[in-house]
Amino acid sequence: MPFFSLPQQSFFLYRPKPLSELPKTLPFLCTKMSTNLNSLENYPTPLSPPLPSISKDIELARALTASSKSSLFGLSRSDILYEDEWLIAVNKPQGIYCDSVLASVPRVLADSTQSNRLSQGNQASSFELHLANRLDRDTSGVMIITKAHKVASALVKAFTNHKVQKAYIAFCIGSAPQSERITIKSGHGRSKHGAWRVYAAGDVGRKLPGGSVVRDMETTFEILSINGQRKHKEPSQSMEDEENNIIVEEKAVIDVDAKKDEILVRAFPRSGRTHQIRLHCQYLGIPIRGDVKYEGVYEWKGRTYDAHELHAESLSFQHPVTGFPVMIQAPLPLWASQELQPVTD
């Protein structure tokens, strides 16, 4: 009978290593991974929506247009709201970058008879020009530029310490609030994707992705008009008695099918967070017209809006050199003045 030989096979027995023989770094790596997972789970949750998908392309187109306009921009004397030996305040146009405004100031100063007299014939380039405050690209209104390092330091400190009173005008689309005056308090910070978001007031101080923390954010709103019906005439001198105080602790419930009103508001930011007014308008369900980043309408009544309608109306502060009170006000843009103009006493 035939003889068949089977191929030889090799067999190995696996013996697990004791813990003492494992690499010394392995326990550390396991601990670090566990810590990172716990940290992710403990990050506060943003309460405002993420950026709408439509905003990416629109914002890119707006940025390119603004870059082109800004490269050709030049201030005129009619843009100057206030000037003395230490400060100059200008009315920044919509759709122009702040740095382009700053770059055009020396020419205006050189053409100014007053500035030439103060500098005793020196070139305007001898001024140490600094931006004391910044406005978003599409926000118009009061912007202050200092003429010396020491003055810049003092005024920036005043802004940082909330010693400067600011008033803004915004045109919003949404369901009109029941109260004519609202104060909203919340947290503010960047989400894991880098977008600015509203957080709960109780999350202030908590760590966010990237190492930053949630900071406090407070804005008071006054309703100026609803669908052309005027409510207030002048900025309030006192805001002690708020009719409606909102402390944000959960996501807002917005009825997307509710009637949309045209609402003109005056906003008083008591902190100075990035996109503060825009974020709070979004949370209240009255996003600013044209503000596609924060759910504002891009098209309204057959018209497309190429920028958000937000205007820095006034700044009030103690002069950093003289100590005297200063109040600088910019004229209203057309979209705001038209909304208030039809109303008669």
3-state secondary structure of 55: helix
Contacts of 92 (CB under 8 A, 6+ apart): 98, 101, 135, 139, 140, 141, 142, 143, 312
Token readout for 26 is 């392995």
Question: Active-site residue among 99, 111, 136, 345?
Answer: 136
Contact 77, 114 (CB under 8 A): no
Q: Summarize the chain as % helix, strand, coil (round to 5).
A: 30, 25, 45
How far apart are alpha carbons 9 and 249 in whole angstroms? 68
Of 90, 335, 136, the closest CA to residue 224 belongs to 335
Contacts of 274 (CB under 8 A, 6+ apart): 188, 196
| 254 CA to centre of own chain | 22
Q: What are phi and psi of 42, to 5 degrees?
A: -95, 0
Contacts of 48 (CB under 8 A, 6+ apart): 197, 198, 251, 252, 279, 282, 283, 294
How far apart are alpha carbons 19 and 27 in whole angstroms? 10
Q: Assess whether 241 carries a catalytic annotation.
A: no
**285-306 burial code (b ≥16 CB/10 A, e <16):** bbbbbbbbbbbbbbeeeeeebe
In the block, which residue shows the tokens 């908590």? 206
Contact 264, 288 (CB under 8 A): no
Which residues have a catalytic role annotated? 136
